[in-house]
Amino acid sequence: MAAALVRPRNNRVIAGVCAGLARRFGTTPATMRVLFLLSCLLPGPQFLFYLALWIFLPSEDSASRNAW
């Protein structure tokens, strides 16, 4: 079973979005950060997606508190 998509408490640099995505897709946070930085070289709304994930992804703390 895949890990839940949350922003972890540890291994954050800015908001934990890349660390959460890396955990979900089974890769390292450094790899996800490099991929994000490389994607920023291309035209598109990558930064807006990052901000949206920062806002809408629950923090690991709040996700564990809301679990039944």
* pLDDT, block means (10 residues), the chain with 68 residues: 78 88 92 94 93 90 62
pTM: 0.79
**Please, which residues have CB within 8 angstroms of residue 28's CB and are 6 or more apart in sequence?**
22
Task: Round to whole Å and give the CA distance between 30 and 27.
Answer: 8
pLDDT of residue 11: 77
* Cα pseudo-dihedral 60, 64, 66, 68, rounded to 10: 150
